[in-house]
Structure 1
Amino acid sequence: MKRYLVAAFSLFPFLASAQPGVKRPRLVIGIVVDQMRWDYLYRFQDRYGSGGFNRLLQEGFNCQQTFLNYIPSYTAPGHTSIYTGTYPALHGVTGNDWPDRKEGTSVYCCEDASVSPVGGSEAAGRMSPHRMKATTIGDELRLATNFRSRVFGISLKDRGAILPAGHSANAAYWFDDSTGNFITSSFYRKALPEWVVRFNGMRYADSMLAYPWNTLYPVASYRNSISDNNAYEYTLKGESEPVFPHRFGPGDYKAIRRSPRGNELSFLFAKELIAQEHLGERSCDMLALSLSATDYVGHAYAPNSVEAEDMYLRLDRQLASFLRFLDSYLGEGNYLLFLSADHGAAHNALWLQDQRVPAGTLSETVLAAALNKYLKVQFGADSLVSGVFNYQVFLNEPLLLSRHIDRIALKTAVKQYCLSQEGIAYAADMENLASETMPAALKELLLNGYYPGRSGSVAVVYEPGWYSDGKKGTTHGTWNPYDRHIPLLWYGWHIPQGETFDAVAVTDIAVTLAALLHIQQPDAATGKVIGKITDQER
């Protein structure tokens, strides 16, 4: 009997090691291309190479009909919704900035006076995710593995690094315009790692500013763009015309953001982080990489510019280089990657008008001033509207209380005035949406974007082609497909080749990741699993 017991126990290590375990990729990489319209996958495809976007399109899985399921469509809500699997109504990030009733002031989504900058300036470094109310998929991966998995965020924009990385991230790094360095805050660590100090010491940003941005090909061959010199684009500092080549001044680190060099710098830092932090060597780790330069170029030049076309042709090459790096470092098939966007962008309104397409601009600042002038006549008080932000009218709540003004009557007057203005299709009482007469689809988008105390009292819905911004460049934030239809490509570990034209929401991304990784969904998730992907994984 003793002999049998010894034999049985001697088998125990072998039996234990043979037990099936949870299978996960070595590394999960989320790439969010800031302001990437879905049609950019195809608009410039004839000049994409085989190793970047076309590799993902041909070898990965393409969710063709992926949309934001809320408005307003801005950077901070977009990144947060991708990684939390829910919309602003539950994660609380309603814009990049918003007037906050609880705090009694306008706030920036990541600003945090309780933390200190690490490696950078006060203005750039006092940031954290503390205003985000939900967990991210990275948080859930950390919790599921008892914090053995490591999670990092990278972006030129602080919000593009911080919000995707989540609350429990090992670190988030972003770019400081005042120094040309990648920095973090004391929310994550007390000092920059030595490898970040060495990376910053290489002064890549200075090298990138030393030579001009010119086109990859002769300008005349850019047939997907309008002429290089046109009336719809902004100029860089020191330029008289918005034309190539674009030159940069020494130390003008803000200019890095408005050129392909910004994405090049982000990819360089991402490669260094993966290697120096040994991601994927001991556990399933995660990297959230946001590419911000596309947004800055889009705002300055608009979708039909040579600059936008050249940006995406260069991004295609940068993406191909990054995929080759991942193949070499981790092994092809050992990493899981998705590529998406936080929002799209409108064509320049004046250019559309010149093509006889309905469009226009209506500044939120101008609208707020006109509203206050109108409301003073109606109610006898100045500044009853504190401002129009994120396509929402915010009321001056303290003044309403002190003057005993009827909120319902005031909101009705706000709606009436807005509806009388050219370019406005609907004005809706955000606190009583059920009673509004408007398409159900618009109601749902507004409701999903509404967070009490952080959203306005009246939503303003512009006509198609209209937006609130200047006459040049472009912007985003509206309900229209050009702002909400985003790319979603999956590639790598357990991802089948194919595509679906089924409706997919931005909130489905994190939920699908949770299913693939066999971990809990983020704690406010409302999305659904994309079955065409996970069914194959089974």
Structure 2
Amino acid sequence: MKKILSLLICFSVFVSCVAQNKVVVEATKNAKPKLVVGIVVDQMRYDYLTRFESKFGTGGFKRMMSQGFNCKNNHFNYVPTYTGPGHASVYTGTTPKYHGIISNNWYSREQKSSVYCVQDDAVESVGTKSKAGKMSPNRMLTTSFADENRLFTQMRGKTIGIAIKDRGAILPAGHTANTAYWFHGKDEGVWITSSFYRTDLPKWVNDFNASDKAASYFKTWDTFYPIESYTESGEDLNDFEGGFKGKETATFPYDLNQLKEENGGYDVLRPTAFGNSLTMDFALAAIAGESLGKDNHTDVLTISFSSTDYVGHNFGVNSKEIQDTYIRLDKDLERLFSYLDANVGENEYTVFLTADHGAVNVPAYLKSAKIPAGYLDYNDRKKRFQQFLTEAYGTTDIVENVSNNQIFFNKAKLKELGLDIHKVEQALVDEQISYPNIAKVYTATTMNSTNYTTGIETLLQNGFNQKRSGDVIVVDDIAHIAYSRTGSTHGSGLNYDTHVPLLFFGKGIRQGETFKKTVIPDIAPTISALLGISFPNGATGDVLGFVID
């Protein structure tokens, strides 16, 4: 009997231990990542993943695609597709309609002037005597998922934002970030912040700035692989690229040390692949300096690679320069993942990668290939419009501002003249639609009163903020831009601007891919669900449950 009792006790202890071990295993399996790294590649079209894939190594983009989840039909669901709105939308889980970042710059009715999306004259620069640090997220109206993580962890989880562009660092990090850092070039070449976050730079940032790491990139930029192997891009010498002052042709190689004096000093690094490498250097220093991913409170690191945008604007989406930039970015991503494996743990971090917008092929190049495209003459439009206003209303003063393809009324003047705003709206629609290369025109009244569910109208509505947007909205013809004859730009609601990568990778992420349509505002709710935290307070996106393991 004693033997049976003893056996029962042993069995009971065994079952208890198994149960406890199962709980421990499940708890470990379901534990949150120690670090979330959000990566936005500025001006990255989706097809860069596929077009340059044969030149990528196995540890960067391909590692994310093979070990993580690839959303192949990911789009922006609003216009305009610019950097400020893009970064805000990725991290807030909503569109400019709600987060309020309607462009990089926009006309403020209250201030009667143009404002910059992260401009804040109430704060001071930290790390420079210039005004480059007078920035904050004050104009973003909603929280980011990084904000919600800070609130959830009682501010124990850190948030650090990093980008060469100030808006690329500030908007993703949100309102509660420990700090956001951006690069101030010119004759300084330092990483800076603002008094919104702190009053001085931490030692690790001062050490990095003192290391002359930025100056080390004043060297020759040549192709990573032999240029003749770059068959996925156009000819190196062509008529569609800008280049650098002081160099006759926009062709490899580029001696940046020689070119820096005529191209803004340290700012010469921005439109080169080395700007991304410098950003990665600083991001790795931040992980170490801030001890990110070292405790049980999830930290958030936001990294935006701005140089891809500068290179695209300068050289275009079909250039050898853009291909080399992505080949080198792939190497930098591999460097990041290897560092995270070693210093945070191979299954202890989660990464997502997307873009803030795509870009159109250089219209001059498209025209040479017999594809409809062209350039807009805004000066001619302005002359015709002012003539119309004078003839129809006796004055041009009823219009206060024209910017970002929007017309802002002077409502006090309309009232003074006894004009019906709705009739004037419609008159302007009828006038504008008659101009060359204008495809569609809509009124604010239409945006506020009609619920669109498909087409460009839906995108316009998602980008329309009732308080900040204009009274009449103009849509230009496909592949027609107001830009120089060289280089690429963006901003439309067309596929070349809206279709961007979305890769998830790391802890809690399934391996797979989908052609199911996803949209940018889905990212923040998905990461929030992974972390078990509240969604950003204005989020309108859906949780992509199929990517979560």
* Shorter-normalised TM range: over 0.9
Contact 1:66 1:505 in 2 (8 A): yes
Q: Determine which of 318, 329, 335 is the counterpart of 1:315.
A: 329
Q: Determine which of 191, 197, 203 is the counterpart of 2:206.
A: 197
CA distance in 2, matches of 1:315, 1:506: 22
Aligned with 1:287: secondary structure?
A: strand
> Match of 1:26, as an amino acid?
K
Tell me which residue corresponds to 1:8: none
Whether 1:514 aligns to 2:525 is no
CA distance in 2, matches of 1:396, 1:362: 26
For each residue in 1:481-534, what CA deviation from the matched residue of structure 2 results, as whole angstroms up to 9, or x when unmatched?
110011000000011110011111100000000110000000001110102113
Tell me which residue corresponds to 1:10: none
Whether 1:107 aligns to 2:120 is no
Map 1:222-261 onto structure 2 (within 5 A): 222-247=230-255, 248-250=259-261, 252-261=265-274
> Match of 1:217, as an amino acid?
Y
Contact 2:414 2:420 in 1 (8 A): yes
Contact 1:70 1:449 in 2 (8 A): yes
**Once the 2 structures are TM-superposed, how far is the Cα of residue 376 of structure 1 from its aligned partner?**
1.6
**Once the 2 structures are TM-superposed, how far is the Cα of residue 39 of structure 1 from its aligned partner?**
0.6
Aligned with 2:207: secondary structure?
A: helix
Query: Structure 1 residues 223-232 or 39-48, which shifts more?
Result: 223-232
> Match of 1:501, as an amino acid?
F
For each residue in 1:454-492, what CA deviation from the matched residue of structure 2 results, as whole angstroms up to 9, or x when unmatched?
211111112221223222211111010110011000000
Q: Determine which of 433, 447, 468 is the counterpart of 2:482.
A: 468
Provide closer, same or farther for how the CA distance between residues 404 and 214 of structure 1 changes in structure 2, counting only shifts above 3 A: farther
Whether 1:484 aligns to 2:465 is no
Tell me which residue corresponds to 1:39: 47
Q: CA RMSD in A?
A: 2.0
Aligned with 1:491: secondary structure?
A: strand
Whether 1:95 aligns to 2:108 is no
> Match of 1:265, as an amino acid?
L
Whether 1:267 aligns to 2:264 is no
Aligned with 1:486: secondary structure?
A: coil
Whether 1:280 aligns to 2:293 is yes
CA distance in 2, matches of 1:423, 1:45: 36
Tell me which residue corresponds to 2:65: 57
Contact 2:422 2:445 in 1 (8 A): no
CA distance in 1, matches of 2:292, 2:467: 40
CA distance in 1, matches of 2:344, 2:452: 51
**Once the 2 structures are TM-superposed, how far is the Cα of residue 272 of structure 1 from its aligned partner?**
0.2
CA distance in 1, matches of 2:84, 2:379: 21
**Once the 2 structures are TM-superposed, how far is the Cα of residue 363 of structure 1 from its aligned partner?**
4.5
Aligned with 1:431: secondary structure?
A: helix
Q: Determine which of 355, 373, 383 is the counterpart of 2:369.
A: 355
**Once the 2 structures are TM-superposed, how far is the Cα of residue 102 of structure 1 from its aligned partner?**
2.4
Contact 1:29 1:338 in 2 (8 A): yes
For each residue in 1:146-181, what CA deviation from the matched residue of structure 2 results, as whole angstroms up to 9, or x when unmatched?
111000100000000000000000000001123210
Map 1:11-90 onto structure 2 (within 5 A): 23-90=31-98
> Match of 1:193, as an amino acid?
P
Contact 2:163 2:279 in 1 (8 A): yes
Contact 1:344 1:483 in 2 (8 A): yes
CA distance in 1, matches of 2:247, 2:415: 50
Q: Determine which of 331, 347, 350 is the counterpart of 1:336.
A: 350
**Once the 2 structures are TM-superposed, how far is the Cα of residue 398 of structure 1 from its aligned partner?**
4.4
**Once the 2 structures are TM-superposed, how far is the Cα of residue 437 of structure 1 from its aligned partner?**
12
CA distance in 2, matches of 1:365, 1:124: 31
CA distance in 2, matches of 1:512, 1:521: 9
CA distance in 2, matches of 1:106, 1:401: 24
Whether 1:212 aligns to 2:226 is no
Query: Structure 1 residues 161-170 or 231-240, which shifts more?
Result: 231-240
CA distance in 2, matches of 1:346, 1:76: 18
> Match of 1:358, as an amino acid?
P
Query: Structure 1 residues 292-301 or 95-104, which shifts more?
Result: 95-104
Is there any run of 5+ residues in structure 1 with no aligned partner, and where?
1-14
**Once the 2 structures are TM-superposed, how far is the Cα of residue 369 of structure 1 from its aligned partner?**
4.1
CA distance in 2, matches of 1:115, 1:369: 40
Aligned with 1:99: secondary structure?
A: strand
Tell me which residue corresponds to 2:311: 297
Aligned with 2:221: secondary structure?
A: coil
CA distance in 1, matches of 2:97, 2:538: 10
CA distance in 2, matches of 1:125, 1:444: 36
For each residue in 1:43-82, what CA deviation from the matched residue of structure 2 results, as whole angstroms up to 9, or x when unmatched?
1111111111111111110011111111111101100000
